[in-house]
Amino acid sequence: MKAELTEEHAFLQKLIGTWEVDAADPDGKIDHGTWTETVRSLHGRWFLCEGEGTMPGGGAAATLLTLGYDPDKRKYTGTWVGSMMNHMWVYEGALDHTGRTLLLDTSGPDFEHEGQSASYREAITFINDNERTFTSSVRQPDGSWKEFMIANYRRKQ
């Protein structure tokens, strides 16, 4: 079995490298500190984004985001796990109309209502080859999305 690489895989190639990451809530009230993310590829098909940093209030943390593209589903797919929680987030998504933003949908624990689940959308947006953002939003009862976290990435040279 040999899967062919697609132009969708080429979009993910832009992630490869080492990134310095600053994260906060949209108002800048909760500073998530400075993290480092290292991204590597498994032969251009799967991309492993390994993050290390400190949680608000202290304590080391690590994260792992996996991303790929499934030509049969015509969707980007992936997972996210972090040392600060037990839930594995599973993603499916697509590029937006600009071709610069990857929108990833998932569901998981509702952070505001214990014992319930919620729908989430993550967005990876390339500003240029050396800068990108990662935003997290939760679906509101009216169907709109409320952004609750933004991370700014700068490629280390």
Q: Kind and range of the H or E element at 34?
A: strand 31-42
Q: What's this model's pTM, rounded to 2 decimal places?
A: 0.92
Band (pLDDT 50/70/90 cuts) for residue 61 is very high
Band (pLDDT 50/70/90 cuts) for residue 3 is confident
pLDDT at residue 30, rounded to an integer: 65
Residue with tokens 């310095």: 20
In this structure, are residues 102 and 47 in contact, taking their beta carbons and an 8 Å threshold?
Answer: no
User: Which tens digits make up the pLDDT trace of 108-146?
Assistant: 999 888 999 999 999 999 999 999 999 999 999 999 999
Closest C-alpha among 140, 125, 157, 153 to residue 37 = 153
pLDDT at residue 157, rounded to an integer: 83
Q: How far apart are the C-alpha atoms of 46 and 65, rounded to whole Å?
A: 10
Reply yes or no on whether the pLDDT at 50 is more than 90: yes
Reply yes or no on whether the pLDDT at 56 is more than 90: no
Q: Which tokens belong to 82?
A: 């972090």
Query: What is the 3-state secondary structure of 68-115?
Result: EEECCCCEEEEEEEECCCCCCEEEEEEECCCCCEEEEEEEEECCCCCC
Reply yes or no on whether the pLDDT at 26 is more than 90: no
Band (pLDDT 50/70/90 cuts) for residue 25 is confident
How many other CB atoms are there within 10 angstroms of residue 51's CB atom? 21
